[in-house]
């Protein structure tokens, strides 16, 4: 294959939460026409399998005991591959613009004169809401959605959590599984009721998905039940509407008598 040194480009592509049927058509086409594929730890084997024969496949995230690459290393690798004239696809879980480092990567590449295109994807919060039957906004109940992450600094939750006290805000918390105790303490201290409905959703999107209904006050205990998959936490009145497939069947059989 001959490559035009001028034609190299990088596509930052959202793969959605896992199953390939939750990828956009544009994302599928991007992977199918990739000449180099760099993929994160949460990317499914089915998505990687869409890459054509001959495509260079490089895993950048922790998986099966292998270490993650540093961001600098990933940036330099994308640049090198693009400068060879390759069509580089950087495949990320969910949506690349939500905790996906899309800003850093595109600034780096564009700064080096490499054209960048972003392909959106279904973010974990949307996948979780769709799968377990709750909305993220709801008329008269949830007028805002806050996509946030929770990070500890010296044992306490970093950042300003005053927005979390707003009873009309749905909080969608990424990467919060490990700090659920601190998170719930901080939100209660900010003024949110401990009785606020909450859910943790593990491995949202696919058949392995699990729902852990709880409240803000019992969040840490609920997180203790999870099995090591990626977990998204949703806190807000809308979480009271969450139903697992089992709940739905039970409700149906009760209704039918
Ligand atoms: N860009 C991704 C988020 C990356 S940050 C997106 O838009 O979804 C990684 C965090 O996202 C995980 O720690 C977890 O909190 C959440 N996450 C990603 N995939 C998930 C999934 N399938 N189910 C539940 N949470 C998920």
| Any ligand 1 atom below 6 A from CB of 236 | no
The mean predicted confidence, pLDDT, of the chain is: 93
The per-residue pLDDT for 8 is 92
- Asked if pLDDT for residue 242 goes beyond 90, the answer is yes
Q: Which pLDDT belongs to residue 66?
A: 63
* Catalytic (active site) residue 84: no
Give residue-wise pLDDT tens across range 123-166. Answer: 999 999 999 999 999 999 999 999 999 988 887 888 889 999 99
247 is catalytic: no
Predicted TM-score of the model (pTM)? 0.94
Q: What is the pLDDT of residue 251?
A: 86
Q: Is the pLDDT of residue 1 over 50?
A: no
Q: How far apart are CA 16 and CA 51, in angstroms?
A: 16
Q: Is 230 in the pocket of ligand 1 (CB under 6 A)?
A: yes
pLDDT, one tens digit per residue, over 17-41 is 999 999 999 999 999 999 999 999 9
Domain boundaries, the chain: 7-119, 124-244
Q: Is 197 helix (H, G, I), strand (E, B) or coil?
A: strand
For domain 7-119, the CATH class is alpha beta
Ligand 1 binding pocket includes 203 (Cβ within 6 Å): yes
d(CA 113, CA 25): 27
Choice from 23, 100, 208, 232 to test ligand 1 binding pocket (greatest atom count within 8 A of CB): 232
- pLDDT at 64 > cutoff 70: no
Q: How many CB atoms lie within 10 A of CB 21?
A: 10
Residue whose Cα lies nearest atom 4 of ligand 1: it is: 99
Catalytic pick among 21, 46, 62, 195: 62
pLDDT > 70 in the chain, percent = 95
Q: How many Å apart are CA 69 and CA 74, to the nearest integer?
A: 6
- 85 pLDDT exceeds 50? yes
pLDDT at 2 (0 to 100): 45
Given the candidates 1.20.120.430, 1.10.3720.10, 3.40.50.300, 3.30.950.10, the CATH classification of the domain at 124-244 is 3.30.950.10
* Residue 16 in contact with ligand 1 by CB distance below 6 A: no
* H helix runs in the chain, sequence order: 25-32, 45-48, 71-83, 102-111, 124-131, 180-189, 219-223, 245-256
Rounded Cα–Cα distance for residues 199 and 227 (Å): 15
């Amino acid at each position: 294959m001959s490559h035009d040194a001028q034609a190299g480009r990088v596509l930052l592509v959202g793969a959605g939460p896992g199953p390939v049927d939750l990828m956009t058509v544009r994302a599928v086409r991007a992977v199918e026409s990739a000449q180099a594929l760099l993929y994160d730890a949460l990317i499914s084997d089915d998505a990687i399998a869409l890459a054509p024969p001959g495509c260079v496949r490089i895993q950048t995230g922790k998986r099966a005991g292998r270490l993650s690459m540093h961001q600098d290393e990933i940036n330099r690798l994308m640049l090198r591959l693009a400068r060879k004239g390759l069509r580089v696809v950087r495949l990320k879980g969910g949506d690349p613009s939500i905790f996906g480092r899309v800003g850093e990567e595109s600034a780096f590449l564009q700064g080096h004169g490499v054209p960048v295109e972003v392909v959106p994807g279904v973010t974990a919060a949307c996948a979780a809401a769709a799968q377990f039957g709750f909305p993220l906004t709801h008329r008269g109940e949830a007028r805002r959605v806050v996509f946030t992450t929770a990070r500890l600094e010296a044992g306490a939750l970093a950042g300003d959590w005053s927005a979390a006290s707003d009873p009309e805000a749905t909080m969608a918390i990424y990467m919060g599984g490990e700090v659920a105790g601190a998170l719930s303490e901080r939100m209660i201290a900010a003024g949110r009721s401990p009785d606020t409905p909450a859910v943790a959703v593990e491995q949202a999107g696919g058949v392995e998905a699990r729902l852990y209904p709880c409240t803000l006050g019992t969040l840490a205990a609920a997180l203790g039940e999870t099995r090591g998959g990626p977990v998204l936490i949703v806190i807000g009145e809308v979480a009271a509407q969450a139903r697992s497939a089992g709940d739905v069947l039970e409700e149906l059989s009760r209704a039918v008598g």
